[in-house]
Each structure stands twice: as C-alpha cells, then as structure tokens.
Amino acid sequence: MLLGAGVLTTPAAATAEAKVVPVQVTGPVSERFNMVFLGDGYTEAELPKFRSNVDKHLNVLWSIEPFKTYRSYINVFTVETPSPESGVDCDPKLDSPRKNTVLDMGFWGGCAAQSPQRLLVVDTGKANKYADLVTGTASGNRQIVALANSDTYGGAGGPWATASGGNALSSLITPHELGHSLGGLDDEYDYYQRGQAGAPYTGKEPGSIHHTLLTEQQMRQEQAKWWRWLGEPSESGGKIGRYEGGSYAASGIWRPSRHSMMKSLGYDFDQISRERMTQRIAGKVNLLSGGTPGDKPVGTDRPVTVQTLHPTDHALNVDWTLDGSPVPEAKNKREFDFTGRWLWSGKHTLTATVTDPTPFVRDPAVRDSAALTRSRTWTVDTAVTSPPASTVDFAASSPTDKPVRVGGNLYAEPNQPAKVRWTVDGRSARTAADDRDLIVPAGAKKVTATVGDQSRTWTVDSTAPTVDIALSTKDGEGPIGMKLTGKDDQPGYVVNQFRLDGDGWHTYYGWPTDAEAPFQFTATGTEVDGLVYGNLGPEGMSTSSFVQRKPGYGRHTIEYRAVDAAGNVSATRSVQVTLRAPR
C-alpha cells in the first residue's frame, strides 16, 4: 500500500537502550545498500521474537528476485530497542489501548478514524534517530524497515517502510513495501477500500512504468511501457500482456500481469517491476568498487586492476580498451598486464568498463546507466615507476560467517595484483577468465580462497531443504486444506512455495488469519477482510472479493518446494487434487 508513514502524536516513550546488531555484512557501509530493521513494541523479554521475525522477513526477501541475485549488494543491520510496553497503538481497533513504545508505531494511520485500519505508521524522526546509530548510513544509502510487534495485517511504504512483524502475511508485506520505498512502484490494486471496486480511471496516460492506457499494439508501435516483455511468460504467472485494473481503479487502466507482487502478496515481481527493482538496488552501489585508482598516471611495470561487485549467481563483465582499441584477450579479466605488450614511449589511455549482463534488464537506457555500467580510465605513462607493493591480502570477499549454497557465486578480491587460488574440499578448482569468482559445485563441503599467504574458507550447505505436504483431501467436495512444512539441517527460516496449475510460484504463509492454519482451496475462494484467497477458478488463486468468479471444480495440480536460509532450493514435487461439485 503506497501511503506515507507519518508521525504519531503520542506521549514519548523512555529512550531505549539501543543495540546495533550486524545481520549480514557484505562490504563497507559506504559501498553497500544498507537495510536497517527496527522493532517497536517488543519488550526486552520479546527481543528473541523480534529476531525471529527479522529472520523470516529476510529469508522470504532473499527468495524473491531481484533481492535473491543482488543479496551481495546489501548489508543488513538490526537496531534492538526494547519498549516499555508490548504491542503498538490502536491494534486492532481505534479504541484499542495506546502503548508506550520507542517508535510510536500505530495502526489506522496513527489512530485516525478516516485512515485505513491496515495503514501502519511510525514516528519518522525517532526511526531516523535509531537508524543513525548504524554508523555511516544515511537516507542516501539505506532503507529503514520498521516492524511492529503485532499479528494484525498492516504496513506502509515510503522512505520508511513498515510492516507488522507477526502476521501470517507480514513477511510478504516487506518486499511489497520495498517495491514502493525503493522501487517507486505503484499499487496495482483495483480498489482502495477493500471489498469495493475502485472508480473507473479517467486521467491521462499514467507516469507509472507498470500502468497504461495503451493497447498492446500501441505499446509495440510506440515502443512504450512494457513493450519489450509483451507475450512472454510472466515471472508471477500467466503472460505479460494487458490486464484491466490498477492504481486503485477497477477499469479504464491496465497493468502488465494478472497478479504480481504489487497486486497480490505472495507472488513474485513480474519482469517490469523486477527490472525497476534491479535498477534501484544496483543504483545504490558502484559496480566498480575498487582497484588501481585512476587519479594519477600509472606505469607499465605492474598490472592495472579493477575490483567489481559480485551478484550471487553470475559475474559482471569487464571490457578493456587501450588507446581506444578493444583488447579482446583481456575481456573479463580483473587485471590488465602490460608484460609482453609493446607500447611506444610516452602516454597512453587505458579504460575498463564494467557491465552487468543480467537478463533482468532490457531497456538500453537502464543498461547503460550508472546502475549497470561503470568505467574507469587511467593515463598510462611508460616513464612512471610504480611504488613498492604492499603485503598481499584480501581487499574483500563473500562473507564467511554463514554457510553458502550450492550454485552460489563466491568471490575474493586481493588488495593488489595477485592470483586467487581456489580449492574445493582440498582440491584445486578452476575458474573462468576471472579468478575472483567461483560457482560452488554440487557436493562441495568446504571452499577456500588464498591470496598470497592469506586464506578464507566457506562452509557449504550442500543439503537442500525438504518439504512435506499434508492435504485434508485429494478428492472430494472440499474445501481442500494444504499445509506445507519445510525442514532443513541448518538454522534459519525455511520458505515454502507452491503453485497451482502451472501459474506463478506463491510463497506459502498458512492462512491469512493464522500462520499455523492450512491454506484452503475452494471452488471460488474464501473472502478474508475484503480479499479472496484459495480460488480454484480461472480468475486466479488470489483476487478481489467483488470480481465475479467461475467455480473451479475438477482436477488441479499443486506443485511445491522449499528454499533454505542459504538459498538452496528443494526438488519440486507435485500432487493431483480433485474438487467435486456438490451433488
């Protein structure tokens, strides 16, 4: 829900004894996008609950693209601020008690009768105050996520994203609100008040990248909006096309997918939203993060180096030009060695261009922007002699404090020209042209990177999680209850996912009103708080309550899988169910 988080005018709580806790550190604060989780309404005794809520929210976030791929661009910190009282204001009713808490969070937009009940706000001044305790973070390089100690559905997007910590759907509120706060994405809801169709859209062509008045033919002819993705299978299910409703209007405006993160919680971002989120995450960092400085002339007696960032599943490209001419043999190498290369005496120009080849981006303007393309140029002077080299050590590497997944991309950056030597379970491992990156092979248990006489070792979580399914019935008049239980041999919240009849993968959360209750499929779905869940009809599993629905009797296929804290994905399994019409 795209509504700004406001300030509650409630009595100030006593200043909390705050504690900054690093949860994931992938690099210096100044060189990363930093997420800062705050908790409100958690007493000292309830801080373990806050930590558990953060773990769930994060692991769900890491299972969703593009956060999964660009996890290595992000630092995560929590600021633990125990509150004098448990809970937050006006939860769940306007006349519910006001609580003495650190961040003054509250539902109903801060206990305002004219506000939606689900609008959860925070005192932004206090949120900034505590987030500032994470040294080096500021509005330009961080995102605050404030979690309320509540099981009531609610959240808000803006510079400060908020979500309830314990609601069944709460871990899905966070990526949706980040779509607003970080991506500048709009809601794709066809309503404002739940249960009531939004008024027809009557405005001009919207500025939103994922809303339009254009037909598919017009988008192609004008090369506008999401024309590059039209007709392709949507990452959130169905095909990318033109679906009526969005931006709180039920008609007169169209969105790219039947359901995606910005319309139905639980689905992934579709390609249009994913492209924007990729741009915004990458735009918070510098792809060319280090190496030989370009501010002074360099000699030819030592290689020139670049240090890049490292997405979790692929390497960035590096292209070199010397005096304006490409050097193909140096492509994707992080060092440019002048040994054996004849140069006339004097000055030359060397340029390295780092690009991200991600398939998540198709817009050339985004591809060529600073988010996905960076260059550095050196003046090379044959008369310059390089200063003595320092001791070889690591400049940066993948974090070693937690197990890494099979198929994940590990990286190690030396602080000067030096070879990175990799071993997997004690045996030498080969890499591509760039020896800074290694994809973890199947069956690995330990991976070690060595530069000079320094080594770093990673433990590999090579065991995928498992997931069990329990169905109330496979063949009957229903309803069909489904409970998924994921298990793993390592700590951390296991994310369960399912999809219905080949539609988009959906994060399992139990039931909207009870995380421990089974998800329930029925012929036309079940209405909960103005929305419909578990619809077996052709309109989609999750839809608005005012949409006319055709009963989905007959046979259906449910696929399911699990994702563990390291990112390993279990094998996909499936089961057939049949819902029979009442006799």
Q: Are residues 199 and 341 in the same domain?
A: no
Nearest CA to 183 out of 268, 281, 71 is that of: 281
Cα 59 from Cα 349, distance rounded (Å): 45
Token couple for 402: 């937690």
Q: Are residues 130 and 74 in the same domain?
A: yes
Token couple for 134: 């994470």
Q: Are residues 570 and 484 in the same domain?
A: yes
Last residue of a domain, one of 461, 477, 492: 461
Cα 513 from Cα 259, distance rounded (Å): 21
Q: Are residues 34 and 165 in the same domain?
A: yes
Nearest CA to 351 out of 315, 389, 306, 387 is that of: 306
Q: Are residues 415 and 505 in the same domain?
A: no
Nearest CA to 574 out of 552, 557, 551 is that of: 557
Residue 447 located in a structural domain: yes
Residue 118 located in a structural domain: yes
Which pLDDT score is estimated for 16? Answer: 53
CATH of the domain at 333: 2.60.40
Residue 117 located in a structural domain: yes
Q: Are residues 84 and 202 in the same domain?
A: no
Q: Are residues 49 and 174 in the same domain?
A: yes
Q: 257: which DSSP letter? A: S
Cα 38 from Cα 45, distance rounded (Å): 16
Residue 113 located in a structural domain: yes
Task: Note the pTM of the prediction, 2 decimals.
Answer: 0.94
Residue 244 located in a structural domain: yes
Half-sphere exposure of 269 (CA within 13 A, CB side): 30
Cα 463 from Cα 442, distance rounded (Å): 10
Cα 126 from Cα 7, distance rounded (Å): 9
Q: Are residues 377 and 407 in the same domain?
A: no
Which pLDDT score is estimated for 561? Answer: 98
Per the structure, the complete domain to which residue 438 belongs is given by 394-461
Token couple for 315: 């390497």
Residue 8 located in a structural domain: no
Cα 312 from Cα 315, distance rounded (Å): 8
Last residue of a domain, one of 162, 181, 200: 181
Number of domains in the chain: 5
Residue 9 located in a structural domain: no
Which pLDDT score is estimated for 493? Answer: 97
Nearest CA to 542 out of 225, 261, 246, 140 is that of: 261
What torsion do the CA atoms of 533, 534, 536, 541 make, to the nearest 10 degrees? 60
Cα 117 from Cα 132, distance rounded (Å): 29
Residue carrying the six token digits 């060695």:
337
**315 backbone dihedrals φ, ψ, rounded to 5°:** -100, 150
Which pLDDT score is estimated for 7? Answer: 36
Half-sphere exposure of 226 (CA within 13 A, CB side): 29
DSSP letters for 289-330:
EEES-SSS-B-SSS-EEEEE---SS-PPEEEEEETTEE-GGG
Q: Are 70 and 24 in contact (CB under 8 A)?
A: no
Q: Are 276 and 209 in contact (CB under 8 A)?
A: yes
Q: Are residues 495 and 443 in the same domain?
A: no
Burial of 123 (0-12, 13-18, 19+ CB in 10 A): buried
Cα 422 from Cα 181, distance rounded (Å): 39
Cα 120 from Cα 8, distance rounded (Å): 10
Q: Are residues 158 and 259 in the same domain?
A: no
Sign for the CA dihedral angle at 112, 113, 114, 117 comes to: positive
Q: Are residues 373 and 412 in the same domain?
A: no
Rounded CA Rg of the chain: 26
Nearest CA to 22 out of 479, 312, 353, 402 is that of: 402
Q: Are residues 26 and 174 in the same domain?
A: yes
Residue-level pLDDT, tens digit, the chain, 583 residues: 433 343 333 334 434 589 999 999 999 999 999 999 999 999 999 999 999 999 999 999 999 999 999 999 999 999 999 999 999 999 999 999 999 999 999 999 999 999 999 999 999 999 999 999 999 999 899 999 999 999 999 999 878 899 999 999 999 999 998 999 899 999 999 999 889 999 999 999 999 999 999 999 999 999 999 999 999 999 999 999 999 999 999 999 999 999 999 999 999 999 999 999 999 999 999 999 999 999 999 999 999 999 999 999 999 999 999 999 999 999 999 999 999 999 999 999 999 999 999 999 999 999 999 999 999 999 999 999 988 878 999 999 999 999 999 999 999 999 999 999 999 999 999 886 689 999 999 999 999 999 999 999 999 999 999 999 999 999 999 899 999 999 999 999 999 999 999 999 999 999 999 999 999 999 999 999 999 999 999 999 999 999 999 999 999 999 999 999 999 999 999 999 999 999 8
Q: Are 65 and 269 in contact (CB under 8 A)?
A: yes
Cα 525 from Cα 543, distance rounded (Å): 9
Which pLDDT score is estimated for 12? Answer: 41
Bridge partners (DSSP) of residue 377 are 351
CATH of the domain at 409: 2.60.40.10
Residue 68 located in a structural domain: yes
